[in-house]
Structures are given as C-alpha cells and as structure tokens.
Amino acid sequence: MNAARGGEKLIERVLTLVAASSIAILFIITFFIFKEGLPFIFEIGPGKLVGALDWAPTKGKFGLLPMIVGSLLATGGALLLGVPLGLSCAIFLVEFSKPRVRRVLKPAIELLAGIPSVVYGFLGVVFLVPLIRTQLGGPGLSLLAGALILGIMILPTVISISMDALEAVPRSYREGSLALGATTAQTVSHVVLPAARSGIVTAVILGMGRAIGETMAVIMVTGNALDLPRSPLDPIRTLTSNIALELGYASGKHQQALFATGVILFVMIMILNLAATATSRRRARR
C-alpha cells in the first residue's frame, strides 16, 4: 500500500510539474512578445499604429489598420460559414444519425484537424481561387477565398467540441421533453441547445482563435495586399500574414513593429474571447 501511494504521489508531482512548465512557457512567450512590442507601441503611439493606413517600415510608416480590418473580416467570414455548418453537423450526428454512422464520421472529422494548413492553402489556390476568378471576377486571391478556407479549417474544431457538449446533456432532458409531447426538433432547439450553450460557445471561441491565428493558408489565398478591402473579392493581408512574410528579413524598427503587431493580435484575441464569453453569460442570465 505504501509503495502504491508513493507511486501515486510521484505521478501526481510529475503531472503537476508538466502542467506548471506548460503554463510557465506560455507566460515566457507572452512576456517576451510584450517586452519587445510594447516599447515600440508607446514610442509610435497606439493611435498611429492602429489607426494609420500606410505600412512602409523603410519609410517610417507603421499603419496596421488594413491588416486589422483584414483579420477581422476574414475571421468573421469564417465564423459565418463554419459555425452554422459545424453546429448543424454536430446536431445531426448526435441527435438524428445512427450510432454506426456517428462512430465512423466522428473520427474522420477529428482527423481533418490534423491536416496541415498548407494543404488547405494548396487546395484553395488550385481549386477555389480559379473558381472565384472565373465565376465572380477579381484576382481570385481575395477576402472571400480566405474566409472560405478558414471556414472549412475551423469545422473540425466546431463539430468535435459541439458534439461533446451535446452528448453531455443528460438523456433525461430529452426524454422529459418528448414525454410532454414535443417533437425531436423542438426538443433539440428548446432543450438540448440551451443546455449545451456553454460548450457550444467554447467551440465558437476556439474556432475563432484558430481562424484569426491561421497563417500559411491565409498567405496562400488572400493576395496579401496592403489596402483596405472594398468588397469580398479584393485581396487582403492579415496580421499573422504580415508577421510571417516580413519577420525573416526585418531588423531594427521594422522588427519591433512586427512584435508590436503580435501584441495587437494578442490583445484582439483576448478582447474577442472575453466579448464572446460575456455575451454568452448575459444570455444565460436572461
């Protein structure tokens, strides 16, 4: 017994050490980004950095507004596609499909999350971009292409976590609703979905984080133009694309500006996550 307890304590300490090291690494990365980026933000001024339109580091111009707008529009478009489609797929698999179908499709959907983003970008360049160019006009490399690719990429995250949230709803909830005369569709919309709201919100937040933080696929299909988009067919550049494209050769103020871009991206993700969580809690109280 003493040996067994000693082994359990050892495993507990090892797991605690691993968890603490993961948190420590996260804090170190965050500290390094803010240490390199905040002085530049204070030197240039947050207003000039966030509100200016021109990005020309060699000329002393560090406007991030086009890239901020591009990131928000691409993420918003991805959520418009990925969340309804992913949630609908999760509802079908959990509530309406046969168990055998669910056992086959759920691992296949989770497998999609492991596909490298460059593969999605390659497929977008080969199939999606020419389709947009020929059917809708424009260069093809555009905000629309980026939003569609990101919407597809967040599907595995949204579907998997939404399925887990729906499956966690007690079966007694469904049985009680059906016993009162409600249909399966009414039970899902009025009982199951409200009960699984917190898990679904988590799925949306994680999907949003995946979309706004994606780099390689976005670089390949959006055109990387430094202008504000006037239509979904215009090319854009996101904050992540800007860092990836220029960090390899940047130095001095240019490099500091890219770290400042990372700070802005970090703050944007935190604000979006907090806003989504606060909105969910406010609706739950009502």
Among candidates 133, 142, 195, which has minimal Cα distance to 170? Answer: 195
Label residue 284 by pLDDT band (50, 70, 90).
low
Among candidates 109, 99, 200, 205, which has minimal Cα distance to 153? Answer: 109
* Average pLDDT taken over every residue of the chain: 87
Beta strands in the chain (DSSP E): 55-56, 61-62
* Residue showing tokens 């009502």: 286
Label residue 206 by pLDDT band (50, 70, 90).
confident
Can you give the pLDDT at residue 2?
60
Threshold 0.75, pTM exceeds: yes
In sequence order, the β-bridge partners of residue 223 are 236
Q: Is the dihedral of CA 47, 50, 53, 59 positive or negative?
A: positive
Is the pLDDT at 5 greater than 80? The verdict is no
Chain-centroid distance of CA 140 in Å reads 23
Mean pLDDT, rounded, for 199-219:
89
Q: How many CB atoms lie within 10 A of CB 202?
A: 18
